[in-house]
Amino acid sequence: MGGLPNPAPAAHIPAMHRRILLAGLALLALPAAGPAFTPTPQDRADLARIEAYLNGVHSLKARFLQIAPDGSTSQGTAWLERPGRMRFQYDPPSPLLLVAGHGLVVFHDAELQQTSNIPIGSTPLGILLAADIRLSGPVSVTDVQRRPGEIALTLVRTASPEEGSLTLVFSDGPLLLRSWTVVDAQRQATRVSLFDVQLGGDFPDKLFEFIDPRFYQQSNPLNGGG
């Protein structure tokens, strides 16, 4: 991924942007410790259905609405292609862009002229973008909730539950991923809802590439670059 600056430690990313980056899709805190989740036979059947559904979704395009912890909202277009590729293109006037590819999640803020990247395996995004999604073993389900026409499950990484949880919400009948919620270390929640979802499709590789505009400007002789 040529043109990227050296990876910036997550601690150097502004708090709000850190929440969006690790969420866009992710969460970094758990609720207070409670009883261990013991799935019922219905839970196990539903988890098997959801696992099969997620593994059957190899690509999708959708509009999204993001609600930040402070209640502010932003919209844009999302592309997902498993394994390991995603793009969140925020609508103007938002200066934000999130791109996942080549094992990294890259977050760019054009207004601040700041780019940060972290390994995709360090975020809950990795759960959704895995080549083989498993809701057991390295991933643990901590809760299953049912509402009329809807089912939600909360996930953590088994080896590092302190890193947080990811709650996925599906419409049921047929199954369709509708939203996810991320809760950060300060117990702040970020929700991303999907609409106008189009399953399937082949997307150009360039959607999942990021070239820092500063690199282009510096390299362009018309801009005084070398």
According to the 3-state scheme, what is the secondary structure of 129-161?
HCCCCCCCCCEEEEEEEEECCEEEEEEEECCCH
- Determine the residue type at 197: V
pLDDT score at 26 = 37
pLDDT in tens, the chain (226 residues): 333 233 333 333 344 444 444 444 433 333 444 457 899 999 999 999 999 999 999 999 999 999 988 999 999 999 999 999 999 999 999 999 999 999 999 999 999 989 998 888 777 778 889 999 999 999 999 999 999 999 999 998 888 777 777 899 999 989 999 999 977 656 778 899 999 999 999 999 999 998 876 655 544 544 554 4
Q: Is the dihedral of CA 25, 80, 142, 135 positive or negative?
A: negative
d(Cα 7, Cα 77) in Å, to the nearest integer?
25
Domains of the chain, start order: 10-30+37-216 (2.50.20.10)
Strand-strand pairing, 73-81 and 176-183:
unpaired
Map tokens 């991933």 to a residue.
Answer: 139
Asked if residue 153 lies in contact with residue 31, where contact means CB atoms within 8 angstroms, the answer is no
Q: pTM of the prediction?
A: 0.77
pLDDT score at 214 = 62
pLDDT score at 32 = 40
